[in-house]
Amino acid sequence: MAVAMLGLLGAPVAVQAKQCRDANGKFIKCADAAPAKGTKCKDEKGKFAKCGTPGAKPI
């Protein structure tokens, strides 16, 4: 049992960010995930907007 506990404590947890590649295989910034269905978005002026429009951010 002590060996099993040492194995758990000694193993570092590797957390990696999602890596995206373009068509040429180069690393690029991953696209933001689409907002969940039913999420409301607002534009820069604070008015409600469709979530797919440019500049709209989920609230």
Question: What pTM does this model have?
Answer: 0.38
Residue 48 sits at φ, ψ, to 5 deg, of -65, 140
DSSP labels, 33-49: PPPPTT--EE-TTS-EE
Report yes or no: 20 and 30 within 8 Å, Cβ to Cβ: yes
58 or 16: whose pLDDT is higher? 58
Residue-wise pLDDT for 16-34, tens only, equals: 567 888 899 999 988 776 6
Helical H runs in 1-59?
2-10
Dihedral through CA 22, CA 26, CA 32, CA 36, nearest 10? 50
Residue 47 has pLDDT above 90, yes or no: yes
Please tell me the predicted confidence (pLDDT) of residue 13.
Answer: 47
